[in-house]
Amino acid sequence: MNIENQIIQQAKDSKSIIITAHKSPDGDSIGSSLALYHFLNKLGLNVSICHPDPAPKYLQWLEGADQILNVEEHAEQIREKFAAADLIFSLDYNHPSRLGEHMEELLNASGAFKIMIDHHLDPADFAQLRISDTSICSTCQLIYQVITASGNGEMIDQRIGTAIYLGIMTDTGSFRFNSVKAQTHRVIADLLDKGVKHDLIHEQIFDVNTPEKLKLRGFATSEKLVILEDLKTAYISLSQEELDRFHHEKGDTEGLVNVALSILGVKIAAFFSERDGEVKISFRSKGSDHPVNKLSNTYFSGGGHANAAGGKFTGTLDDAIAKFIEILPQYVS
């Protein structure tokens, strides 16, 4: 029996299933959670989605998004779900710490059978079954693989396919990253054949800007963009005061780091945002010579992919930037 069939059989043998994904949800974590949720529902199984925090508004249009429980609003309900669960799916994260303190504690304390489906480097050994494939562009493509390789491909409908398409699209920068392989396009072709409206998905993600969001992004690129030509690096930083000034909402700064990376000659980019007494950092790079996941893991308590990673810094925004600039030369040489 292949691992995909083992996963489906384990789900069918379970009475109460939870789907979890990482803190600070993105298109791949939301898409994979909902695709698996809808699929397991079609199998007639008892399944819930429990996330650390709410999805940004630009992802809340997906069918089923209103069924996602989050710790910020449903802490007691989630605790009860974990207490009753006999199967927990861990989607789009490689270590329990990516769940945030509260849900990490619940996951580690649970005696439920655990299944990891993920595409990040260096997976921790906390799940009894694991699909961990860094050559695949997104967890959503792995969910497609689980469904089809288990002989259930005909169950992928427009609702499941839309969630899968969303995750693949967002995690590949609209199919532009080198993580996209021929098989990815074959998956997308199959989803279109199943009725997925790709143009509507792009509209829901990219054509829903508010004036405040556009003003914030304009300010960030015109006033807060710094280019370090000798280090082939660019970065953007936004303080809590600046975010508040433009009425920042979750998701408004999504992709700003890619704007910095798009500058001619830039090989490494970073975006720093000061929120709730902590500095959150996104890193991006071009090519195999600039592994920002190692930079993030070594100095900023984070990790991710070689060319796309995230981290955090406890301290001031200025100190975080100073530390970044100090260690940069060893990653640019």
- Look at residue 56 and tell me whether its pLDDT is greater than 70: yes
Task: Render pLDDT for 230-259 as a digit per residue (tens, 0 to 9).
Answer: 999 999 999 999 999 999 998 899 999 999
Tallying the residues shown for the chain, one arrives at 333
The residues with which 90 forms a beta bridge, in sequence order, are: 20, 116
Q: Where along the chain do its domains lie?
A: 3-205, 211-332
E strands, 204-289, are: 225-228, 233-238, 268-275, 278-285
For the chain, the farthest-separated pair of C-alpha atoms sits apart, in whole angstroms, at 59
* pLDDT interval class at 331 (50, 70, 90): confident
Average pLDDT for 161-170: 98
Question: Is the distance from CB of 288 to CB of 262 less than 8 angstroms?
Answer: no
Q: Region 313-321: what's the mean pLDDT?
A: 95
pLDDT (mean) for 62-81: 96
Mean pLDDT on 266-289: 92
- Residue 17 above 80 pLDDT? yes
Does domain 3-205 match CATH 3.40.309.10?
no
Query: What are the angstrom distances between the C-alpha of 299 and each of 138, 154, 261, 275, 293?
Result: 25, 46, 20, 19, 10
Contact 170, 27 (CB under 8 A): yes
Instruction: Report which secondary-structure segment, H or E, holds 321.
Output: helix 317-327
For residues 144 and 148, what is the distance between their CA atoms, to the nearest angstrom? 6
- pLDDT at residue 121 above 90? no
Q: Which residue has the higher pLDDT, 122 or 167?
A: 167
> What's the average model confidence in pLDDT over 107-120?
97
* pLDDT 10s digits, 81-94: 999 999 999 999 99
Element containing residue 80 per DSSP (H, E):
helix 71-84
User: What's the rounded mean pLDDT across residues 227-231?
Assistant: 96
Which whole-number Å values give the CA distances from 125 to 41, 93, 94, 112, 301, in the listed order? Answer: 28, 12, 9, 15, 19
Mean pLDDT of 287-294: 86
pLDDT in tens, 172-187: 999 988 899 999 999 9
Q: How far apart are the first and last CA of the chain?
A: 48
Give pLDDT, residue 215. 97
* Residue carrying the six token digits 């669960």: 85
333: pLDDT strictly greater than 70: no
Determine the Cα–Cα distance for residues 75 and 308; give it in Å rounded to an integer: 31
Q: Give the right CATH number for 211-332 from 3.10.310.30, 3.90.79.10, 3.30.390.50, 3.30.460.80.
A: 3.10.310.30
* % of residues, the chain, pLDDT over 90: 89
Q: What are 247's two structure tokens?
A: 């009425």
Tell me the CA distances in angstroms from 42 to 47, 48, 199, one per residue in order.
11, 13, 26
- Asked, colleague to colleague, whether 3-205 and 211-332 share their fold, the answer is no
Q: Does residue 188 have a pLDDT over 80?
A: yes
Is pLDDT above 90 for 36?
Answer: yes
pLDDT at 54 exceeding the cut of 70: yes
